[in-house]
Structure 1
Amino acid sequence: MSREELCTEAEITTLVHQFYARVREDALIGPVFDAHVHDWDSHLATMVRFWSSVLRGSGTYRGTPMPKHVALPGLNPDMFQRWLALFHETTETLPNRPFAESAETAAQRIARSLWYGYQMSRDPERMPSELFNG
């Protein structure tokens, strides 16, 4: 199966909107997003383009997420773990299982990368810690 056949743009949109609905309601990470996302419609459209590029290879996303994330104050591993847990809750509801599994794998890779980048920007002399032990 090609990347384009993995899922539709509509499935990406459903994933993004359902996931961020969970994020916005979450007591731990919801306030972080609400403090930094000033236009949710624009953010959701950007995230649809991002996930379409990651999962379908659409190339519709043009951006650099790392600088935006490392600029955020006070992030910690619990927040990244919560983001992943909410993402997993969302993918569990998706009927297209190959899409759900690919999205899950990508989310884990992205969360780890952002957490490493975040730590390295704050303390470049220290080895970054893992999100999960073991």
Structure 2
Amino acid sequence: MESDEIDEAGLERLIPLFYERVRADAEIGPIFNDAVADWPGHLDRLVAFWSSVMLTSGRYKGSPMAAHLKHRSRITPAMFDRWLTIWTATTDELMSARAAAALQNKAARIAESLGLALFFRLEDPVAARGGIN
């Protein structure tokens, strides 16, 4: 099982350090800092989220999609890449290679899903054909 080397204690170390780096980042930090008023509470929710995702603990109750949709006007696809770059560096630093890879793979799938929900729009089929003739 890919989460064998991931535990609550590891997530409790990883998440605060990762978001400390996110908050300090020139590209994505301002959005996070503006969006989150209660960082201790938010970090607790994020640890619960990753616990639910990686350890199937069921601790997280919430909607990541709704949280991101509220800030859609300020989020760009490139910001997901920046988030993943910081995530990769932090997980590589703190976790075993196997745990880091599992966390990185899951984060990439989550980022892809959020990105599709925020940015993907099917073209109007009529407009795509050049309008109605």
Gaps of 5+ in 1: 128-134
Return the offset for 1:23: 0.2
Which structure has more relative contact order (CA 8 Å, sep 6+)? It is 2
Give the TM-score normalised by structure 2.
0.85
Seq. identity, %: 40
CA contact (8 A) 1:6 1:56 kept: no
Supply the distance in 2 between the matched residues of 1:51 and 1:8 (Cα, whole angstroms): 10
> What is the aligned partner in structure 2 of residue 63 from structure 1?
62
Matched, 1:47 2:75: no
Which amino acid is 1:87 matched to?
Answer: W
Supply the distance in 2 between the matched residues of 1:47 and 1:66 (Cα, whole angstroms): 14
Give the TM-score normalised by structure 1.
0.85
> What is the aligned partner in structure 1 of residue 122 from structure 2?
125
Deviation per CA, 1:48-104: give whole Å up to 9, x if none.
Answer: 000011111111001111011012122111111100111011011024222111100
Return the offset for 1:8: 1.6
Are the structure 2 counterparts of residues 125 and 15 from structure 1 closer, same or farther at C-alpha, using a change threshold of 3 Å? same
> What is the aligned partner in structure 2 of residue 8 from structure 1?
7
Q: Larger Rg: 1 or 2?
A: 2
> What is the aligned partner in structure 1 of residue 31 from structure 2?
32
State the SS of the aligned residue for 1:35. helix
Higher mean C-alpha deviation, range 88-97 or range 104-113: 88-97
Aligned length: 123
> What is the aligned partner in structure 1 of residue 103 from structure 2?
103
Gaps of 5+ in 2: 125-133
Q: CA RMSD in A?
A: 1.7
Supply the distance in 2 between the matched residues of 1:70 and 1:95 (Cα, whole angstroms): 30
